[in-house]
Structure 1
Amino acid sequence: GALISVSADSVFMVADALMGASTVVTGSAEKAPEKAQSVMRAQFRAIAERRGIDPSVGEAMVDEELAIEGLVEAGKLLTLTTDEAVRVGYAVEVGGFDELLELLGVADAEVRVPGVNWAERLVRFLSNPLVAPLLLSIGTLGILIEIKTPSFGVAGTVGILSLAAFFGSHWIIGLAGMEELLLLAAGLVALGIELFLVPGFGIAGLIAFLCIGSSIFLALIGNLPTWSDVTRASGIIFMAGLIVIAAIYLIVRQLPARAGARGIFLQSATSTADGFVSGTARQDLAGHEGVAITDLRPAGTIRIDGERLDVVSDVGFLPKGTRVRIIRSESYRHVVEPVDGVAGA
């Protein structure tokens, strides 16, 4: 801030304003190496020489080892008050905005103060650290539901719109660039392949998850991230993950118990006491003979007494046309052997 201020041809300060303390720091708020400090000192010196003011004042704002009598002692960075800045020629004091206009000779000029319109307020709201996790949560939850359900419906639409709101707001304020948007587009394409071309969660779903997740993280940290940006982004993603987990828990555990959801979720249970079984043994088939109508590898199909029956060969591979005999029936599994011990008999 101080460097930008002294770079101007004229600097105006109101009472109680401050200027200085311009040591270069790293992203972790630690003092940068001497190489960076030297460049900053040179910049202050060059600007002061151009403006015809004392270069040592600007250098003392960067280097705490410099002492200036009446301003700062060695070991402390220089920060100028308004009176001090006026005394060393770094600024002119004004009583307010109206006085500044008079000094500039434009006291009668029309002053227009730009306000914040509804679109800017909307973008600020959507990019708020408290709102962003909600958009991510809704978007992620919608996509997860869409992956686990057939076709494309409301959940996917809401999910995509939420992600669009998140990325759109971050793109407008300059945090998300074309790289993040391309990653998001690739993720949505992979998601479409997963939903419409390759049912079930597979490679396309994994690619979609990685692309969308990477684009979200990159949009949150910006183009020149600091450690605090990475920490903030991780916190937002962590919070969004917790919201998604809680929402899934409520949907799976709580929603079926609601009266309004009884028409959506199956409420009845099946048990063997009520006569529900996965299959029953056909002991009446033991000893019956039939013909394999497919190769038995060892599983296959035979025809017996006009009925098609799925069986398993007890001796391994048997070619189509082999005459077989059922030797036992185990629930839904029927085991056969060749009648004459010779394939194709």
Structure 2
Amino acid sequence: MEQRKSRWLSVLLAMLFMTAAWIPASVQGAGEDQTVYVIPVEQTVEQGMAAFLERSVEEAEEADADRIIFELDTPGGAVDAAGEIASIIDGTSVPTTAYVTEQAMSAGAFLALSADEIAMAPETEMGAAQVIDGSGNAASDKAQSAWVSNMVNAAESNDRDPVYAEAMADPGVDLPDYRAGEGELLTLTASEAASDEVGYAEYIADSRDDLLSQMNLGDAAVEEADISAAEQLARWVTSPYVIPILLSVGMIGLILEVFSPGFGIFGGIGLASLGLFFFGHMIAGFAGFEGLLLFGVGLILLLIEFFVPGFGIFGILGIGAVVGSLFMSSFSVSVMAISVVLAAVAAIIAAVVMVVGFGKRGPMKKLVLQDTFSSKEGYVSNEGRTDLLGKEGTALTPLHPTGAVDIDGEKIDVVSDGRYLDRGDAVQVVRVEGTRVVVKPYSNKERRES
């Protein structure tokens, strides 16, 4: 009898042990031995953010995270960047939750819809996701239709009613119960999104800890993804609004350096701006060393062209290499095309201002070396060609501003008085400063009058 009791007791203990082992972690201890990765999605959605999120998601996958929580606080941003980020969220094997901490508007709403679950803090909003162009106007019908389709697909892929996602992107969808009448985009509050009718938000949580508790992950280890200083810089540099500024500052700096003595602050500023462009795009994953190498080759070719009289093959190849390197390092052909045009216009304006102000009064005069060491002051390194003063000649090469002219059958190296002259133009020597011979244009009309 005692043996039988002992046997039944052993069987009972074994069954209890197996039952305890079968009980899910949510019952044994909320989130015990689990890991949650928290990735911030803040400020404007742009290409630099995509690179950061891709790295962070890869880290979560390599760490075998049990869940990724994307904390959203964004007013929206670029459509192409939003599409890339949504693919990253949708493509990960780790379960995902989008937690709206402040707002998820426009592209931010699209990112929220791409997650497996949505949580919202009280008094937050999500929606208003119509596509607009760079001028702030509604995009073309084709672009708008594609965006509405993306919003609907994101909702359907996670078993959400697509009509609300469509109303967020299309003002023609009428949902009067949610203030989305004709011509008005839908924006859902936290309570509306969590209602049984809409069913977009699974949780309303006051804080991250509250959310984790509701998800039975209260005891889970939390890993926060921090954006590095380099990635923060990359996000700023790759902004479509910053790119044309960097390129313009870079080109203007180099233009001013050409007209300034030695290598100084303008050249440094120009190279620093262009260096920031390439550094940011390399960190974001858009540019490689081949783009930077091509840019360096272009600069070398332009320097050769500057010191070799005449605008020829080196100048053409140099400009082509520089422009090609910019497009090679860009994430968008259209953004780069606009940026290059704006930078070129700014550089041309700077060049014209420098040419007009060369040797004149005013602030431009301070940018150009004006000091001369004349023979009257005892500065004589070689015999001066004062015999050339007033003589006329013909340009043998273009003068921009240096080149060669023919005076009485003798080839003389000269510099113009600041104006660019073409080959064959008539010139007259106006100053001789040591071995430096300065000429100006000399028209046939001036010859007749003299």
Q: CA deviation at 1:90?
A: 0.6
Equivalent residue for 2:388? 278
Equivalent residue for 1:106? 217
Q: CA deviation at 1:103?
A: 2.7
Give the distance between the partners of 2:237 and 2:187, measured in 1 at CA.
Answer: 38
Equivalent residue for 1:60? 167
Give the distance between the partners of 2:375 and 2:331, measured in 1 at CA.
Answer: 51
The amino acid that maps onto 1:77 is L
Task: Judge conservation of contact 1:26–1:32 (CA < 8 Å) in 2.
Answer: yes
Which of the two has greater strand per residue?
A: 2
Runs of 5+ in structure 2 lacking a partner?
A: 1-106, 377-384, 390-408, 411-450
Task: Judge conservation of contact 1:14–1:96 (CA < 8 Å) in 2.
Answer: yes
Give the distance between the partners of 1:14 and 1:57, measured in 2 at CA.
Answer: 19
Q: CA deviation at 1:49?
A: 3.9
Deviation per CA, 1:23-59: give whole Å up to 9, x if none: 3444554434545444444444444444333222122
Q: CA deviation at 1:104?
A: 3.3
Change (3 A) 1:139 1:173: farther
Mapping for residues 140-155 of structure 1, pairs under 5 Å: 140-142=255-257, 144=258
Choose which of 206, 218, 239 in structure 2 pairs with 1:95. 206
The amino acid that maps onto 2:315 is L
Deviation per CA, 1:298-344: give whole Å up to 9, x if none: x89xxxxxxxxxxxxxxxxxxxxxxxxxxxxxxxxxxxxxxxxxxxx
Give the distance between the partners of 1:205 and 1:266, measured in 2 at CA.
Answer: 34
Equivalent residue for 2:253? 138
Change (3 A) 1:122 1:20: closer
Task: Judge conservation of contact 2:193–2:200 (CA < 8 Å) in 1.
Answer: yes
Choose which of 294, 300, 305 in structure 2 pairs with 1:194. 305
Equivalent residue for 2:112? 5
Give the distance between the partners of 1:163 and 1:141, measured in 2 at CA.
Answer: 14
Is structure 2 residue 128 aligned with structure 1 residue 21? yes
Secondary structure (helix, strand or coil) at the match of 2:126 reads strand
Mapping for residues 69-80 of structure 1, pairs under 5 Å: 69-71=176-178, 72-80=180-188
Mapping for residues 119-198 of structure 1, pairs under 5 Å: 119-120=230-231, 133-142=248-257, 144=258, 161-162=271-272, 165-172=275-282, 174=284, 177=287, 181=292, 184-191=295-302, 193-194=304-305
Task: Judge conservation of contact 2:127–2:168 (CA < 8 Å) in 1.
Answer: yes
Task: Judge conservation of contact 1:138–1:162 (CA < 8 Å) in 2.
Answer: no
Give the distance between the partners of 1:175 and 1:230, measured in 2 at CA.
Answer: 20
Equivalent residue for 1:84? 192
Give the distance between the partners of 1:234 and 1:161, measured in 2 at CA.
Answer: 19
Change (3 A) 1:204 1:154: farther
Task: Report the TM-score when normalising by structure 1.
Answer: 0.55
Equivalent residue for 2:323? 214
Give the distance between the partners of 2:113 and 2:229, measured in 1 at CA.
Answer: 35
Q: CA deviation at 1:10?
A: 0.6
Larger Rg: 1
Task: Judge conservation of contact 1:188–1:208 (CA < 8 Å) in 2.
Answer: no
Q: CA deviation at 1:204?
A: 3.8
Mapping for residues 299-310 of structure 1, pairs under 5 Å: none
Give the distance between the partners of 1:164 and 1:118, measured in 2 at CA.
Answer: 19
Task: Judge conservation of contact 1:181–1:215 (CA < 8 Å) in 2.
Answer: no
Task: Report the TM-score when normalising by structure 2.
Answer: 0.45
% of aligned pairs identical?
A: 24
Change (3 A) 1:42 1:171: closer
Task: Judge conservation of contact 1:64–1:77 (CA < 8 Å) in 2.
Answer: yes
Secondary structure (helix, strand or coil) at the match of 2:305 reads helix
Secondary structure (helix, strand or coil) at the match of 1:64 reads coil
Give the distance between the partners of 1:125 and 1:158, measured in 2 at CA.
Answer: 21
Runs of 5+ in structure 1 lacking a partner?
A: 270-274, 280-298, 301-345
Q: How many residues align?
A: 264
Equivalent residue for 1:328? none
Task: Judge conservation of contact 1:138–1:159 (CA < 8 Å) in 2.
Answer: yes
Task: Judge conservation of contact 1:126–1:132 (CA < 8 Å) in 2.
Answer: no
- Between stretches 77-86 and 177-186, larger displacement belongs to 177-186
Q: CA deviation at 1:11?
A: 0.7
The amino acid that maps onto 1:99 is D
Task: Judge conservation of contact 1:174–1:222 (CA < 8 Å) in 2.
Answer: no
Change (3 A) 1:21 1:181: same
Task: Judge conservation of contact 1:48–1:55 (CA < 8 Å) in 2.
Answer: yes
The amino acid that maps onto 2:158 is R
Give the distance between the partners of 1:216 and 1:253, measured in 2 at CA.
Answer: 37
The amino acid that maps onto 2:323 is S
Equivalent residue for 2:94? none
Give the distance between the partners of 1:140 and 1:208, measured in 2 at CA.
Answer: 18
Task: Judge conservation of contact 2:281–2:287 (CA < 8 Å) in 1.
Answer: yes
Give the distance between the partners of 1:141 and 1:173, measured in 2 at CA.
Answer: 29
- Between stretches 72-81 and 20-29, larger displacement belongs to 20-29
Q: State the superposition RMSD in angstroms.
A: 4.8
